[in-house]
Chains A and B, each alone.
Chain A
Amino acid sequence: MSNNSSFTPLAVDSQSFTEDRLHKNSGWKLYYQTVIARAYPRIIGQQREKSWLFFDIFLPLLSVCAYVFVYRAIKAPEDYIGFVVIGGAMTAFWMNVLWSMSSQLYWEKEQGNLALYIMSPTSMMAVLLGMALGGLLATTLRALVIIVLGSLFFNVHYVVTSFLQLFAVFFLAMVALYGLGMMAASLYLLLSREAWHISNLAQEPVYLFSGFYFPIKSFSFWISAVASIIPLTLGLDAMRQLVFKTGPSLGFVSVPIEIIVLCILSVVFLFAARLMLAYMEKLAIREGRLTENRR
């Protein structure tokens, strides 16, 4: 008994300590906490593993250089060099959305984390939002470095006509793009081994139809219009119109129209992501696909 009495204060301390430690947020606080928690490894992970920066910048920069030299070989106007630099920088966002947003839930399933996400008392939307936010911040840094280095290497001249519109276009394009990524992530909940192949397949065709290395106006109106479903198509087109002298003459449609379409895409993709995630999560649970691991 003496042992019990001697342990009582410690037990009480431990209990209050545990209550303090286990204070649980709920509602919007939990949502916010989840977003930050999921964004954290995306940003901090990059700082801890700095050599990733080299590969994430070096590889896109090689492609940028190759396409710039193709334009030089066929004696293209200098603004096209700038088009390639901007397009090359934006590939970082598409790669991020494809491999670190859309495919992420597939990777999580492969590593056994997906079931833990589903079991936790938080929103999967918050998890996806955190992934998007972290990925966006980390990728913006890489894209900036590519633009700076590409511009210095190839002496690109920018003539910005409206910083406000430029910021609006970039912001909206990113919201819509990551909304698309969140929507696609829910689809990947149902995929298995084919997820890797589908992501791999979606790279080049999107580089082509979104006009990463040439003005989208080069295609017919209807091809460009259909390609505009990918937010980077209009985002890139608008940014080129806003930062290059010849940009407006090579633009697909006017910048204000592109801003309006990007607004609509942002709302549609985010709303669709929410609906699809709820539906796909239920479907995946019903069909027992959350923990399957078909290699």
Chain B
Amino acid sequence: MEPAELQTTQSNLPIYSRSFRTAAWLGWQIESNWTDPFLFAIYSIIKPLAGAAILVVMYSVITSGDFTSPIFSYIYLGNAFYMYVGAVMSGVSWAVIDDREHYKTLKYMYIAPINIPAYLIGRGVAKFLVASISVIITIVFGVLFLHVNVDPAAINWPLFFVALMLGVVMLAMMGLILAGISLLIVNHSWFIGDAVAGALFLFSGAIFPLEVLPAWIRPLGYVMPVTYWLELLRRALVGRVAEAFPTLINISNPQIIAIMVGLTIIFGSIAYFLFRFCEHIARERGLIDMVTNY
């Protein structure tokens, strides 16, 4: 009888697939089964709409409700798609904290025949789905009631789906980097996803053009992958709005896609090696089953 292979990062496609699918189902159950479907739906709608409404009211107060201006669509769409950033990154990294500190099951995951990175990415799927519902509702609300200039017939759908897919993969890789770091730190694991998402929110031009930032901070925005991702999504959905702002006007769509692919490969490689490194350190220090009670 052969000994069980407990290496968590083995390259075995069926194990990847099974870990991912099971984790996605588990994540969905955790996200949704704390209440009945109706209340869950309300919960999923209210939070993102309230977040968007803050920006809408701020804009409305200053411009006396001039929602036809390109800047409004820029702000509104950037804010809507930014929901993916927090959801996917936090969804993947939060699973470490949730399993280790709350459910105290991370050690059992490590002795199960699964691939841990695939499992963690799978746990992020539920948040991705919830975020997708929120993004769709927010955009539909904006189009119906706030004159956001999204015309379904004019959308560059292939570009949109390529951009969305690339961005989500890139965010999952960034989430895996945070998950690796979460394995090693105690007190602030809770905040890592929020802190990174908050920083990206500020520097990536999600809700204002990068030109508004002081000149010395602006370069930070140009090295943030989320900046290019949001630009590509805006170009796919509302090309004229994107053209109204000079931030990345000299870079063509294929060039931005190439940048996104490059960044996704870079983040994927960093995530793979960093996660393995952090995992090794966590095993060495006995941190896998640590409960800090913070």
Contacts and interface: CB of A to CB of B under 8 A. Distances in A.
Interface of A: 49, 51-52, 55, 58-59, 62-63, 65-67, 69-77, 80, 111, 193-194, 197, 200-201, 203-205, 207-208, 212-215, 218-219, 295
Contact of A55 (B60, B191, B206): B191
Interface in B23-58: 34-35, 43, 46-47, 50-51, 53-55, 57-58
Nearest to A77: B62
B93 to A, nearest CB: 15
B50 A73 contact: no
B212 interface: yes
A207 B206 CA distance: 19
Interface string B234-260: 000000000000000000000000000
B207 interface: yes
Nearest to A211: B57
Given A55-B188, A200-B47, 18 more contacts: A52-B188, A62-B199, A66-B198, A66-B206, A67-B58, A69-B202, A69-B212, A70-B59, A71-B58, A73-B208, A111-B293, A201-B43, A201-B47, A204-B54, A205-B47, A213-B58, A218-B57, A295-B102
Contact of B61 (A75, A200, A215): A215
Q: Closest 3 CB pairs between A and B?
A: A204-B50, A62-B198, A73-B208
A200 B102 CA distance: 17
A48 B194 CA distance: 23
Contacts of A214: 54, 57-58, 61
Given A73-B209, A197-B35, A55 B195 contact: yes
Interface of B: 34-35, 43, 46-47, 50-51, 53-55, 57-63, 71, 75, 102-103, 187-188, 191, 194-195, 198-199, 201-202, 206-209, 212-213, 293
Contact of B50 (A69, A71, A208): A208
A295 B293 CA distance: 15
Contacts of B61: 76, 214-215, 218
Given A52-B187, A70-B208, A204-B54, A194 B71 contact: no
Contact of B62 (A51, A65, A76, A203): A76
B201 A66 contact: yes
A212 to B, nearest CB: 8
B40 to A, nearest CB: 9
A207 B48 CA distance: 12
A197 B43 contact: yes
Contacts of B63: 74
Contacts of B43: 197, 201
A209 B123 CA distance: 33
Contact of A69 (B46, B54, B198, B208): B208
Contacts of A200: 47
Given A52-B187, A62-B198, A208-B54, A74 B71 contact: yes
A215 to B, nearest CB: 7
A208 B57 contact: yes
A193 B35 CA distance: 9
Nearest to A84: B58
B199 A205 contact: no
B208 A207 contact: no
B208 A49 contact: no
Given A52-B187, A59-B194, A194-B35, A80 B62 contact: yes
Contacts of A75: 62
23 contacts: A49-B187, A52-B187, A58-B195, A62-B198, A62-B202, A65-B202, A69-B207, A69-B212, A72-B208, A72-B212, A74-B59, A74-B71, A80-B62, A194-B34, A197-B34, A197-B35, A201-B47, A204-B46, A207-B50, A214-B58, A214-B61, A215-B61, A295-B103
